[in-house]
Chains A and B, each alone.
Chain A
Amino acid sequence: MAKKTLGPVRREFTPWEDTAAEPFIEFRNVTKRFGDFVAVDNLSLKIYEREFFALLGGSGCGKTTMMRMLAGFETPTSGQIFLDGQDLAGIPAFRRPSNMMFQSYALFPHMSVENNIAFGLKQDKLPKSEIDDRVAEMLRLTKLEQFAKRKPHQLSGGQRQRVALARSLAKRPKVLLLDEPLGALDRKLREETQFELMALQEDLKMTFLIVTHDQEEAMTVADRIAVMDQGQLVQVATPAEIYETPNSKFVANFIGDVNLIETKVVEASPSQTRLEAMMGGFLIETDQTTSARPGDTVWYAIRPEKVRVAKGKAEPGSVNAVNGPVWDIAYLGDVSIIHAKIGEGDFDTLKSTFANVTRVVEDPITWYDDVVLTFDRNAGVILDR
């Protein structure tokens, strides 16, 4: 039988599981304060060579500060940052072996595309022929050959984004820093560019560090994601681990859609846990164990797509099942979302999403239908924070 993993993707590249592996980038107890505001709070993080690593969080969570400290634009209040074994303290931005792609692209408006790309190479005083070769290679890589002589204001947003990428890659930095690189692109272009970035990272065998607030973007491109909140790492794991086994309500809520059910522990044995939902009063049984004791309040997080919905009523006394009337339906084309009201309160609803695999549905669910919502024993996770 094949090995079971979280999510449908098996990864070949997992240096973080190798305890002997040397980190390529390391933040060691880094704190950054701006006046009274603590942007990064005693944070330690290891990133490995050739990893595509994402820092994910809402605005003001400290993710951009982390990147700017690595690039040399901010100095940590305390702690150390290492890149490829070298302590970066005291090294100014212009001597650091990392390059950054800025959120605003920060193209030099008075220079043509090729001069923008060549700028960093000229600073290294490379011979002209080598600069020309490298610029030509970057133009080809980013499909910008025909725009080489243009100025940035003669380009569209997507083209500017590619110039910024080419410019930051031209020096073949040890690590490429991407600060919300796709924020200004429209959705279609953004999705395309995400896959281009992944292919590029694979080809160039470089370490990429991306800062983003867009969880879909982080999930798409990254090998590992660090979810940040208030200057701290909440969880560092692969996209599948973050999605399937969030370690807190914050992560469960931040990544994707989730039903967070407040429950009381009924039984906490080494083989299984039984919970009673506060809303609807139904019983949840899971093989997961918890350190909480009977009577404690914990949260049961279950993704809507793992909740099945069917017309009918739950058998009395059944577990992992609850019924109620349909309160709301959203048809999104590819999927539909159903909210069933399972408790007394206005917000006591449970969400279920399902793929619309057929075009024509006989006897579809409609508003105020009685439905039964069921889920597997191990469909959700118990969260105690």
Chain B
Amino acid sequence: MRSGPTWFNVTSLVLGFTFLYLPIVILVIFSFNESRLVTVWGGFSTKWYVELFKNKQLLDAAWVTLKVAFLSASIATVLGTMAALVLVRSGRFVGRSLFSGMIFAPLVMPEVILGLSLLLLFVAMDQARGFWTVMIAHTTFAMCYVAVVVQSRLVGFDKSIEEAAEDLGCPPVRSFFLITLPIIFPGVLAGWMLAFTLSLDDLVIASFTTGPGATTLPMKIYSQVRLGVTPEINAICTILVVLVTFGVIAASLASKRQELQRAHDERAAFGAN
């Protein structure tokens, strides 16, 4: 077979990268724009980054967002892992399909409807809206993503490993923490990261469920953009892009390293025979 680039491959690659990354590249470039006008290049400058760190409102919003994302991701991870365990392990029980449907509904439900229904719930409960309501709302929809990720990890899990722990005198709850959790931990961690990211960039649900004093970064950016894009927004977005990029690269490097280590260990094992 002929390898190497064909005109079709090259075209798809260029088109793909253009659609995916051109907007981001433009955003990054204009974050270093000297000019106040977003669309006119006025020379290189980092002054908007300096401005950004003086903008208390934006920084507050970023801090709220991080807190919401961290808390909701953590709670969603616990709940989602429990839901996944029930779905994979408990076999058949009355209401299983209903439960599994309910767990996965938020994956396909329009965010607007989810946000609205949560808002109605909070109103009905006469709950003052703010930080905690956003956090709870994010937990609700992030939980199902965690459940999906952890479930896929659990399906490939050899149940006899847990049975072995029990057989050796370990009660079920302890064997979960000593055996099961360490083994499915990569899945749980991936679920947490997914939940964190989803919470970080959610605009719709946060808008529905937030109240005074709990403006998240996406909401802040969105409301500012409506008044006109300032280069400050470009700067903070660039920082987010850089953070996410580093996260992704670090995660893929770590998993690559683990794979190499494993391959190396296996070679060592078979060499030792």
Contacts and interface: CB of A to CB of B under 8 A. Distances in A.
Contacts of A72: 166-167
Given A73-B163, A104-B158, A110-B182, A154 B266 contact: yes
B163 A155 contact: no
Q: How large is the interface on A (under 10, 10 to 19, 20 to 34, 35 or more residues)?
A: 20 to 34
Interface residues of B, number: 25
A124 B179 CA distance: 17
Given A110-B183, A119-B165, A104 B269 contact: no
A156 B168 contact: no
Contacts of B165: 108, 119
B182 A106 contact: no
Given A94-B169, A94-B171, A102 B164 contact: yes
Nearest to B167: A100
Nearest to B265: A154
A312 interface: no
Contact of A93 (B167, B262, B266): B167
Interface string A80-122: 0000000000001111101110111011111000000001100
B160 interface: yes
Given A108-B179, A109-B183, A110-B182, A156 B270 contact: yes
Contacts of B166: 72-73, 92-94
Contacts, number: 83
Contacts of B273: 156, 158
A264 interface: no
A94 B167 contact: yes
Contacts of B179: 108
Interface in A117-162: 119-120, 123-124, 150-151, 153-156, 158-159
A99 B167 contact: yes
B94 interface: no
B38 interface: no
B268 interface: yes
B12 to A, nearest CB: 38
A104 B160 contact: yes
A153 B265 contact: yes
Interface in A161-203: 167-168, 171
A-B pairs with lowest CB-CB distance, top 7: A120-B168, A123-B169, A106-B164, A106-B160, A154-B265, A93-B166, A154-B269
27 contacts: A71-B163, A71-B167, A72-B166, A73-B163, A92-B171, A94-B168, A94-B172, A96-B167, A100-B163, A102-B160, A102-B164, A106-B161, A106-B163, A106-B164, A107-B161, A108-B161, A108-B164, A109-B183, A120-B170, A123-B168, A151-B265, A154-B265, A154-B269, A156-B269, A167-B164, A168-B168, A171-B168
Interface of A: 71-73, 92-96, 98-100, 102-104, 106-110, 119-120, 123-124, 150-151, 153-156, 158-159, 167-168, 171
Interface of B: 158, 160-161, 163-172, 175, 179, 182-183, 262, 265-266, 268-270, 272-273
